[in-house]
Amino acid sequence: MDIVRVLLADDHAIVRSGIRRTIEQIEGMEVVGEAENGPQVQEILQQDTIDLLLIDVTMPEFDPIETISKIRLLYPSLKILVVSAYDDDFYVKGLLSAGVNGYHMKDQPLNDLRVAIERVMAGERWISSSLINKLYEDPQISRTIPLLTARQRSLLRYLLQGMDNKSIADTLGLSIKTVENHLTRLYRQIDVQSRLEAVNFTMCHPQILGTPGSQVLQSEDADKAKIQHSITILVVDDNARYRKQLLRMIAKANPRATIYEAESIHETIQIAQHVNLQLVLVDVVLGDEDGIACVRRIKSIHPQCRVILISAYPDREFHRQGIESGAVAFLDKQNLDLPTLKQVIDDVTGKFAPVEN
């Protein structure tokens, strides 16, 4: 039997010692590393093969949700069990959305921790019983998702990227005070009190970032939606100007589309894990990232989704690798006009449209 290699991360040595003793009583498990801050966690994960990460997310030099999301992206097969004294529901849901496999409260008996570890390693999700009622009674779960303006969706995306108010102001060409006022109105609309709550709410409800095609267009163009099927589309491109152009063309091709946008693999996976995507357009080059790798991740989550690679620099080898990764087509951006998009969308809506009796 293969040994399960465990990394134990907590800034309190006495807590690590107690958890280590519990792990050592489980057959086939071995603690191969300990960390007491964020950088140490990253270093050990890079240097060693780890199967299970047990982590307290309130360690020094550690941004919980952002770092866990990156760890999940880099190590998709790694099991992550949070062991924490912090039970704020926004915080817990944010981490669950970021990709942890379980959330265990420190005030529970160590024997329960053993059960949690075994369940997580068996592929199940674990949540301490003391959290379950709180999570399911939270009105945020059943709350109607509000329809935001384009500016508000942009603000949420900037918050997810970790940008501060000054960076947002510089990006939008606004004053910091104006950004603060926009954020205040945004928080009020989604019924949260802080930046962290806004980020957690968005990670739990990424559908809030979707843009209805009819909202992109003028009302007279949106009338065409009455004769078209709805479709959920994601555009993945690191060029904001091109994304905006493509969103408008998609909306013209099908005003009933709900359109999402992402500029990185991390953003893409966050959306794909929570939204039933039917069509995804992915640029081959995403900054320093590989769009073909992005296609593989999308297909692993939504095998039936149609993914199309796009590029301003068509290359035969890119085309070959893209098709092998699961893309159904490879299109030159110069040829990606409205008629082509309409044909692509009509093909997909024909595939997913319900059959009438």
Q: Please count the other Cβ atoms lying within 10 Å of the Cβ belonging to residue 199.
A: 20
Residue 309: per-residue pLDDT = 93
pLDDT band (50, 70, 90) for residue 222: very low
Angle (nearest 5°) at CA 70 between 188 and 114 = 95
pTM: 0.51
Report which of 199, 201, 228 is spatially closest to residue 212, judged by C-alpha positions: 228
Domains of the chain plus CATH, in order, are: 4-137 (3.40.50.2300), 144-207 (1.10.10.10), 210-357 (3.40.50.2300)
Cα separation, 125 vs 120, in Å, equals 6
Task: Record the tokens describing residue 270, joined without a space.
Answer: 């966050």
Most confident of 6-20, 137-151, 219-233: 6-20
Q: Look up tokens 């999402």; give the residue.
A: 260
- What are the CA-CA distances from residue 4 to residues 23, 26, 28, 126, 313 (Å)? 10, 10, 6, 18, 44
Cα separation, 208 vs 219, in Å, equals 21
Residue 308: per-residue pLDDT = 93
Residue 49: per-residue pLDDT = 93
pLDDT at 136 over 80: no
Residue 353: per-residue pLDDT = 45
Cα separation, 94 vs 6, in Å, equals 23
Q: Are 33 and 45 in contact (CB under 8 A)?
A: no
Report which of 219, 341, 349 is spatially closest to residue 278, judged by C-alpha positions: 349
Q: Are 331 and 310 in contact (CB under 8 A)?
A: yes
Angle (nearest 5°) at CA 276 between 273 and 277 = 95
pLDDT band (50, 70, 90) for residue 139: very low
What's the mean pLDDT in 231-255?
89
pLDDT at 246 over 70: yes
Cα separation, 299 vs 10, in Å, equals 35
pLDDT band (50, 70, 90) for residue 111: confident
For 88, phi then psi, to 5°, come to -60, 130
Q: Which residues pair with 103 in a beta bridge?
A: 82, 127
Q: How many residues are recorded in the chain?
A: 357
More confident position, 227 or 336 = 336
Type and span of the H or E element at 114: helix 110-121
What's the mean pLDDT in 119-146?
68
